[in-house]
C-alpha cells in the first residue's frame, strides 16, 4: 500500500528582532499572555493535517529553551517541542511522552551537504576525492555500527550527556535513517531540501539540480567501494 502523505510544519524562528525594536526577538514577545512562537506553533499543532511541528531557532536562544523544559516539567505547559538530548532525557525520566518525531515526519533530508567552488572542483579533484573517500568510509562504518558503538565514539564531544542518553539518541537516529549511507546527493533529496529552504525564505527562487550538483566524484568513490 502507498504510504499516506503527512505534513510537517517547519517554523523559522531564528531572527534577532532588530527591525521590531527593543525587547528582544519578537518570536518570544508576549501577545495576550502567550509568546508569538507559542501561538504560531499552537495553530499548527491543532491542525488535523499537520503531523509534527518543528521550530528552527537561533543557537543563542538555548537558555530560553532550557527554561521552557523546566517550565514543562513543572506542569506549566501541555506540550513541548525540543531537540536532543533534552527529548531523550525527558523520556528517560518519565517526565514526557513522545507525541511526534520530526525525523520520522520529514524522513531523510540532506541538510549536511558539502560545497566547493567550480574552480576548486576543476583543479583539486584529487583532494576532493580523498575527502569524499574518507566521508564514504565513515558513512559505511556508521551504517554497520550499533548505537552503543556510535555513542561511545562521540562521547568526547558530549561529555555532559550520560552514556545511556547518548545511546538512546543514536538509536533513534539510526531507526529513522537520519544519516545518509553514501555521499551522493540525489535529485529527490535536493528538491526536498530546496522546498524547505524556499518555505523558510532562506532562498528566493528555485535552482536547477543540474546547475549546482556534481556527483561525479561521489559516484566514482562509491563505485570503487570507498
Tens of pLDDT, residue by residue, the chain (226 residues): 444 456 777 777 767 665 656 666 777 777 777 777 777 777 777 777 776 777 777 777 767 767 777 888 888 778 877 778 888 988 888 888 888 887 787 777 888 888 899 999 999 999 999 999 999 999 999 999 999 999 999 999 988 889 999 999 999 999 988 889 999 999 999 998 888 888 877 788 999 999 999 999 999 999 998 7
Domain ranges across the chain: 7-106, 118-223
Q: Return the bridge partners of 86, or none.
A: none
b/e per residue 11-44 (b: at least 16 CB within 10 A) = bbbeeeeeeeeeeebbbbeeeeeebbbbebbeeb
Q: Residue 1 has what pLDDT?
A: 40
Residue that has been written with the C-alpha cell 570507498 in this structure:
226
Q: Residue 3 has what pLDDT?
A: 45
Picking from 109, 112, 108, the residue whose alpha carbon sits closest to that of residue 176 is 108
Burial class (CB in 10 A: 0-12, 13-18, 19+), 221: buried
Grid cell locating 65:
529553551
Amino acid at each position: 500500500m502507498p504510504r499516506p502523505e503527512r505534513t510537517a510544519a517547519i517554523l523559522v524562528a531564528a531572527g534577532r528582532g532588530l527591525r521590531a525594536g527593543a525587547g528582544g526577538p519578537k518570536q518570544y514577545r508576549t501577545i495576550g499572555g502567550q509568546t508569538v512562537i507559542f501561538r504560531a506553533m499552537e495553530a499548527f499543532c491543532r491542525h488535523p493535517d499537520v503531523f509534527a511541528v518543528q521550530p528552527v531557532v537561533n543557537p543563542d536562544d538555548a537558555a530560553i529553551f532550557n527554561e521552557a523544559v523546566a517550565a514543562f516539567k513543572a506542569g506549566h505547559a501541555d506540550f513541548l517541542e525540543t531537540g536532543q538530548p533534552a527529548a531523550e532525557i525527558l523520556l528517560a525520566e518519565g517526565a514526557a511522552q513522545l507525541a511526534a518525531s520530526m525525523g520520522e515526519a520529514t524522513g531523510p533530508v540532506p541538510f549536511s551537504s558539502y560545497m566547493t567552488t567550480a574552480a576548486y572542483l576543476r583543479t583539486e579533484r584529487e583532494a576532493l576525492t580523498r575527502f569524499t573517500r574518507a566521508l564514504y568510509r565513515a558513512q559505511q562504518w556508521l551504517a554497520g555500527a550499533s548505537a552503543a558503538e556510535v555513542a561511545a565514539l562521540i562521547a568526547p564531544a558530549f561529555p555532559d550527556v550520560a552514556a545511556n542518553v547518548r545511546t538512546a539518541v543514536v538509536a533513534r537516529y539510526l531507526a529513522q535513517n537520519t544519516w545518509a549511507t553514501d555521499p551522493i546527493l540525489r535529485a529527490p533529496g535536493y528538491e526536498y531540501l530546496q522546498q524547505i529552504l524556499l518555505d523558510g525564505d532562506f532562498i528566493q527562487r528555485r535552482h536547477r539540480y543540474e546547475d549546482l550538483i556534481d556527483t561525479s566524484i561521489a559516484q566514482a568513490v562509491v563505485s570503487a567501494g570507498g
